[in-house]
Amino acid sequence: MNDRDWFRARMARLAPVPITDSGSWGPVRRMLFRPWLLLGGVCWGLAVGSKWEALYPLAAFGVLAWVWSAGARRSFGVRWALLRSVVVDGIPAFVHLVLVALVVYVATWTGWLMHAETYENHLSATQYTHYDGGKDWPTASEPDASGLGGVTQSLRSLWHYQRDVYVFHTHFLNDATHTYASKPSGWLFLNRPVGVEADVDIKPGTQGCEAPAGSDCLRQVLLLGTPVLWWGGVLALVYAAVMWIGARDWRFGLTVIGTATTWLPWLMYDSRPIFSFYAVTTLPFIVLAITMTMGRLIGSSPAPTARRTAGVIASGSFFVLVLVNFAWFWPIWTDALLTHAEWLDRIWFQRWI
């Protein structure tokens, strides 16, 4: 959003309004450096370094940056703006976002690059390397190089490791099962949380258990989102889609695209065990959808009106409800001691067990 505003403001300073020359591309040279896209490339590189699935929204928002740039040029009178923007805006956006992200991503593996030989000794001979008839990493048997050759050798060993990770996730889990695996189609509705730890059958009078006779206590760590937040977020996303498509409010499109690109790609992998906590990258876009929906409910005018009052009450009530809901589920997120009855009060559905 910041890049979109920056681009349009710079166009306004540099271009006549409207551009009357049918062959004009609009300002080019002084629009090549995009500071907000550069910052975005750094952030996307860090995101991919944390989890590869960030590649999907990176690609989507890269395309979105180009489309926004083309729209800005068209609004200033540039003809065939979408095609011309591929060259003058699309290529710079690719450099700022993708190439910068690649450099940052590789930099997140600095520890590997500095000690590649140690990793090779432990990881180069694996079943994943040999999956398609391949051999051990060539770099594992090569003499250690120095200087630029050493950098190249370390990068090659990192590439082989990345390939092994990809092969493992795409070929070695298809026939596996897991108790807490879940279908991504239900992640936004919290269809199946992930149990991390449980200490059950704690008898009354032991470990601080104050359950009545004939019952027991337990401790649990359950990876489950705050239901009110997620379910309310689904409604906010529906509203965002309506506002984006129906009202043509481009801002709401950010939440829809962000959610789609961090969630829907997982549908391609629902034949192997995958887990609901993968949707954590979707949560920022859900919160953004809720925030923007609240903004629409409250309105932009500070003048006191019945509509604004109703919007403040509705938004504030939802916020408080999320806090209360968060506090209610806190014990099953933090391994707190609960009686069996208290635990059941928090397990609302059989599929959550």
Regarding whether 304 and 233 lie in a shared domain, the answer is yes
pLDDT less than 50: residues of the chain: none
CA torsion through residues 278, 281, 282, 284, sign: positive
Regarding whether 332 and 239 lie in a shared domain, the answer is yes
Does 13 reside within a domain?
yes
Regarding whether 40 and 19 lie in a shared domain, the answer is yes
Regarding whether 98 and 122 lie in a shared domain, the answer is no
Total residue length of the chain: 353
User: Which of 76, 107, 138 lies at the terminal end of a domain, its last residue?
Assistant: 107
Does 164 reside within a domain?
yes
Ordered DSSP codes for 259-317: HHHHHGGGGGGTTS---GGGGGGTHHHHHHHHHHHHHHHH-S--S--HHHHHHHHHHHH
Average pLDDT, the chain: 89
Regarding whether 59 and 142 lie in a shared domain, the answer is no
Does 199 reside within a domain?
no
Does 180 reside within a domain?
no
Regarding whether 73 and 34 lie in a shared domain, the answer is yes
Nearest of 102, 133, 136 to residue 119 by alpha carbon: 136
Regarding whether 74 and 114 lie in a shared domain, the answer is no
**What is the edge-to-edge ordering of all strands in the sheet holding 217-223?**
194-202, 217-223, 338-339
b/e for 52-79, b at 16 or more Cβ within 10 A?
Answer: ebbbbbbeebbebbbbbbbbbbbebbbe
Regarding whether 133 and 246 lie in a shared domain, the answer is no
User: Which of 107, 126, 146 lies at the terminal end of a domain, its last residue?
Assistant: 107
Number of domains the chain contains: 3
Q: The whole model's pTM is what?
A: 0.86
Does 282 reside within a domain?
yes
Q: What is the DSSP letter of 173?
A: S
Look at residue 315 in the predicted model and tell me its pLDDT: 95
273 phi and psi, to 5 degrees? -65, 115
Regarding whether 260 and 333 lie in a shared domain, the answer is yes
Q: How many Cβ atoms are within 10 Å of 337's Cβ, its own excluded? A: 18
Does 296 reside within a domain?
yes
Regarding whether 27 and 12 lie in a shared domain, the answer is yes
Regarding whether 346 and 244 lie in a shared domain, the answer is yes
Domain that holds residue 138: 110-171
Look at residue 292 in the predicted model and tell me its pLDDT: 96
User: Which of 107, 134, 155 lies at the terminal end of a domain, its last residue?
Assistant: 107
**For the segment 33-65, what is each residue's pLDDT rounded down to a tens digit?**
999 999 999 999 999 999 999 999 999 999 999
Look at residue 18 in the predicted model and tell me its pLDDT: 64
Q: Which residues pair with 197 in a beta bridge?
A: 221
**For the segment 237-259, what is each residue's pLDDT rounded down to a tens digit?**
999 999 999 999 999 999 999 99
CB neighbour class for 192 (10 Å; exposed up to 12, middle 13-18, buried from 19): buried
Does 202 reside within a domain?
no
Does 208 reside within a domain?
no
Regarding whether 262 and 344 lie in a shared domain, the answer is yes
